[in-house]
Amino acid sequence: MKNNNKNIRLLVDCHVFDGKPQGTTTYLKGIYSELIKEKSIDFYFVASDAENLKKVFGTQKNIYFIPLYFNNKFLRLLIEYPYLIKKHKIDFAHFQYIVPPLKLCKYIITIHDVLFIDYPKYFPFWYRIKNRILFQVSSYISDINLTVSEYSKEQIQMHFKVKNIYVTPNAVEDKYFDSFNREQLKDQVLKKYNLKDYFLFVSRREPRKNHLNLLKVFFLYNYYQEYQLVFVGNQDIIDDEYVKFYSNLDLKVKERILYFDKLNENELLTITRGATVSIYPSYAEGFGIPPLESIACGVPTICSNTTAMKDFDFIEDYLFDPNSLHDLNDKILKSIHNNISSEIPNRMKLKYSWNKSARILYNLIKNND
Tell me the pLDDT tens digit for each residue of 191-238. 999 999 999 999 999 999 999 999 999 999 999 999 999 999 988 889
Residue 327 lies in a domain: yes
| 3-state per-residue secondary structure call for the chain | CCCCCCCEEEEEECHHHHCCCCHHHHHHHHHHHHHCCCCCEEEEEEECCHHHHHHHHCCCCCEEEEECCCCCHHHHHHHHHHHHHHHCCCCEEEEECCCCCCCCCEEEEECCCCHHHHCHHHCCHHHHHHHHHHHHHHHHHCCEEEECCHHHHHHHHHHHCCCCEEECCCCCCHHHHCCCCHHHHHHHHHHHHCCCCEEEEECCECHHHCHHHHHHHHHHCCHHHCCEEEEECCECCCCHHHHHHHHCCCHHHHCCEEEECCCCHHHHHHHHHHCCEEEECCCCCCCCHHHHHHHHCCCCEEEECCHHHHHCHHHHHHEECCCCHHHHHHHHHHHHCCCCCCHHHHHHHHHCCHHHHHHHHHHHHHHHC
pLDDT at position 5, please?
56
How far apart CA 11 and CA 91 sit, in angstroms, is: 8
pLDDT at position 131, please?
97
Mean pLDDT within 288-316: 94
Residue 2 lies in a domain: no
Clarify whether residues 246 and 266 are in a common domain. Answer: yes
Clarify whether residues 358 and 328 are in a common domain. Answer: no
Clarify whether residues 321 and 180 are in a common domain. Answer: yes
Residue 268, domain extent: 174-351
Clarify whether residues 42 and 187 are in a common domain. Answer: no
Clarify whether residues 233 and 309 are in a common domain. Answer: yes
pLDDT at position 163, please?
86
Clarify whether residues 211 and 323 are in a common domain. Answer: yes
pLDDT at position 1, please?
43
Clarify whether residues 274 and 211 are in a common domain. Answer: yes
Residue 1 lies in a domain: no
pLDDT digits (tens, 9 = 90+) for 134-168: 999 999 999 999 999 999 999 999 999 998 999 99
* Amino acid, res. 162: V
Residue 76 lies in a domain: yes
Clarify whether residues 357 and 346 are in a common domain. Answer: no
How far apart CA 215 and CA 223 sit, in angstroms, is: 10
pLDDT at position 178, please?
95
Number of domain units in the chain? 2
CATH of the domain at 340: 3.40.50.2000
Q: What sign does the dihedral 7-87-107-143 (CA atoms) show?
A: negative
pLDDT at position 20, please?
82
pLDDT at position 342, please?
83
Query: In the predicted model, is pLDDT for residue 3 greater than 70?
Result: no
Query: In the predicted model, is pLDDT for residue 240 greater than 80?
Result: yes
Clarify whether residues 227 and 255 are in a common domain. Answer: yes
pLDDT at position 188, please?
96
Q: What pTM does this model have?
A: 0.92
What confidence category does residue 369 fall into, taking pLDDT thresholds of 50, 70 and 90?
confident
pLDDT digits (tens, 9 = 90+) for 162-203: 989 999 999 999 999 999 999 999 999 999 999 999 999 999
Per the document, the length of the chain is: 369
Name residues whose C-beta falls within 8 Å of residue 58's C-beta, 6 or more positions apart in sequence: 36
Clarify whether residues 30 and 15 are in a common domain. Answer: yes
Residue 245 lies in a domain: yes
Clarify whether residues 146 and 271 are in a common domain. Answer: no
